[in-house]
């Protein structure tokens, strides 16, 4: 009879422990939900760590795979619809062309960011000099957090800190695309050190000149954006014609991909389309470069 109360006591203790564990687990779950609501602002249960990892992986995939691969995807779709391998070949041929254009845009944005950083560096350096700092110390303070110097930042900082050839280091850094304004900074440094001229005044004039040049280039690009958009829109008109023909039941893909006359029209039209688009965009690029 003594074993029954002991078994009952053990069973009761186990039930108490299970209830406490469930209560603590519920409190932890409530606390986690509260943290999700207060930190992320999302709905409860819609943002688990697995979902966040999936979003991160998708973002990384988009970063590794450029938009140029959409040309191959469109080619595959047209190949299925038209029952021909020619769209796949055309899409694969368009991938390197689109990749080159994407890389050119990335390079242009990096050049523009470096130009803005050089302008900001000139303004910060002028402010440090006016605050009473020596030119070397002022350059170290102004250039420490600037990316306008690029890979030559360490050399410029070392030259400014230890009395080295600062104009030479700036001239080396000016070889980077978009950092050409550093040549003017090097010239201002030579004049200020050799002839005792005011460095801050020269930096102000240099900053104003670089800013005016940047604004003029941006204004020209804005004026030419209409011409570029018009050229791209005209280049897309044949695709619109194909869609209209398909909607009318004419089956233009079969005519273009499976008949001799259609293939001839496709080749000649594609060549003329590519040459016309290249010519129009080249005119715009030359206008921007001038």
Domain assignment present for 143: yes
Tell me what the pLDDT averaged over the chain comes to.
78
| Dist. CA 161–CA 154, nearest whole Å | 10
Q: What is the mean pLDDT of the segment spanning 67-79?
A: 83
| Dist. CA 190–CA 162, nearest whole Å | 17
| Dist. CA 238–CA 250, nearest whole Å | 15
More confident call, 69 vs 51: 69
Task: Write the pLDDT tens digit of every residue in 174-217.
Answer: 888 888 889 999 898 888 876 656 788 888 999 999 999 999 98
**Cα–Cα distance list, 80 to 33, 86, 89, 257 (Å):** 47, 11, 13, 12
Report the candidate in 176, 182, 183, 66 with the shortest Cα–Cα distance to residue 111.
176
Q: What is the mean pLDDT of the segment spanning 108-124?
A: 90
Q: What is the pTM of this model?
A: 0.67
| Dist. CA 72–CA 61, nearest whole Å | 17
| Dist. CA 72–CA 104, nearest whole Å | 20
Domain assignment present for 122: yes
| Dist. CA 288–CA 221, nearest whole Å | 7
Residue 43 clears pLDDT 90, i.e. is over it: no
More confident call, 20 vs 277: 277
Q: What is the mean pLDDT of the segment spanning 216-223?
A: 89
What total number of domains does the chain contain?
Answer: 1
Alpha helices in the chain (DSSP H): 3-40, 49-64, 69-82, 86-130, 135-143, 153-162, 166-173, 181-195, 199-235, 237-247, 252-258, 260-289
Q: The domain containing residue 90 runs over which residues?
A: 69-289
Asked whether 253 and 242 are in contact (CB, 8 A), the reply is: yes
Domain assignment present for 212: yes
Asked whether 227 and 285 are in contact (CB, 8 A), the reply is: no
Q: What is the mean pLDDT of the segment spanning 165-182?
A: 88
Report the candidate in 149, 126, 118 with the shortest Cα–Cα distance to residue 213.
118
**pLDDT value of residue 207:** 92
**pLDDT value of residue 206:** 92
Asked whether 123 and 133 are in contact (CB, 8 A), the reply is: no
More confident call, 56 vs 2: 56
Domain assignment present for 125: yes
The first and second tokens of residue 256, run together, are 């273009």
| Dist. CA 225–CA 202, nearest whole Å | 35
Q: Is 15 exposed, middle or buried (0-12, 13-18, 19+ CB in 10 A)?
A: exposed
The first and second tokens of residue 259, run together, are 């008949």
C-alpha 4 chain-centroid distance: 74
What is the pLDDT confidence band of residue 62, given thresholds at 50, 70 and 90? low
Domain assignment present for 254: yes
**pLDDT value of residue 51:** 66
| Dist. CA 206–CA 229, nearest whole Å | 34
Q: Is 48 exposed, middle or buried (0-12, 13-18, 19+ CB in 10 A)?
A: exposed
Domain assignment present for 84: yes
Residue 12 clears pLDDT 50, i.e. is over it: no
The first and second tokens of residue 44, run together, are 């409860």
Task: Write the pLDDT tens digit of every residue in 229-270.
Answer: 888 888 888 889 888 988 888 888 888 888 999 899 989 998
Domain assignment present for 52: no
More confident call, 51 vs 263: 263
Percent of the chain with pLDDT over 90: 8
Asked whether 146 and 120 are in contact (CB, 8 A), the reply is: yes
**pLDDT value of residue 25:** 47
Domain assignment present for 141: yes
Comparing 32-36, 198-202, 286-290, the range with the smallest average pLDDT is 32-36
Residue 11 clears pLDDT 50, i.e. is over it: no
């Amino acid at each position: 009879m003594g074993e029954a109360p002991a078994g009952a006591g053990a069973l009761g203790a186990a039930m108490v422990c299970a209830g406490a564990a469930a209560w603590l687990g519920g409190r932890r779950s409530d606390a986690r939900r509260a943290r999700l609501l207060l930190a992320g602002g999302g709905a409860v249960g819609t943002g688990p760590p697995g979902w966040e990892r999936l979003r991160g992986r998708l973002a990384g995939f988009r970063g590794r795979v450029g938009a140029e691969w959409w040309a191959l995807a469109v080619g595959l779709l047209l190949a299925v619809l038209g029952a021909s391998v020619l769209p796949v070949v055309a899409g694969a041929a368009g991938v390197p062309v689109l990749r080159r254009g994407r890389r050119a845009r990335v390079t242009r944005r990096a050049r523009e960011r470096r130009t803005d950083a050089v302008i900001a560096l000139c303004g910060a350096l002028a402010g440090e000099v006016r605050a009473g700092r020596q030119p070397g110390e002022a350059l170290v303070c102004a250039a420490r957090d600037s990316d306008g110097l690029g890979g030559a930042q360490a050399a410029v900082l070392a030259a400014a800190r230890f009395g080295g050839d600062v104009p030479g280091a700036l001239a080396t850094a000016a070889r980077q695309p978009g950092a050409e304004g550093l040549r003017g900074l090097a010239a201002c440094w030579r004049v200020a050190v050799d002839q005792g001229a005011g460095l801050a005044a020269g930096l102000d004039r240099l900053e104003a000149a670089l800013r005016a040049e940047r604004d003029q280039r941006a204004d020209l690009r804005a004026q030419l954006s209409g011409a570029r958009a018009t050229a791209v829109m005209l280049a897309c008109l044949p695709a619109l014609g194909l869609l209209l023909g398909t909607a009318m039941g004419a089956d233009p893909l079969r005519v273009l991909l499976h008949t001799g006359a259609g293939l001839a029209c496709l080749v000649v039209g594609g060549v003329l389309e590519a040459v016309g688009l290249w010519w129009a965009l080249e005119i715009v690029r030359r206008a921007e470069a001038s």
